[in-house]
Amino acid sequence: MFGRDKNSGELALKLPPELTKSIAYFCFYTRGIVLAAFFKVVVASTV
């Protein structure tokens, strides 16, 4: 299921490039939302 990507040399799933990009974008976008929400909670609790 997991394999080394010869182009980037990083550990990557053996999936179509389009799907890999979609997953990467989704993970990045979701992480941004989670970080923003977490930051708001921290700020709200400290103020």
Whether the per-residue pLDDT at 10 is higher than 60: the answer is no
pLDDT for residue 1: 47
Close Cβ partners of 17 (under 8 Å, ≥ 6 residues apart): none
Q: Label residues 9-44 b or e (16+ Cβ within 10 Å = b).
A: eeeeeeeeeeeeeeeeeeeeeeeeeeeeeeeeeeee
pLDDT for residue 8: 55
pLDDT for residue 39: 94
pLDDT for residue 20: 83
Q: What average pLDDT score do residues 11-30 get?
A: 81
The pTM is what?
A: 0.44
Average pLDDT over the chain, rounded to whole? 80
Question: Could you tell me how far CA 4 lies from the centroid of its own chain?
Answer: 18
pLDDT for residue 18: 86
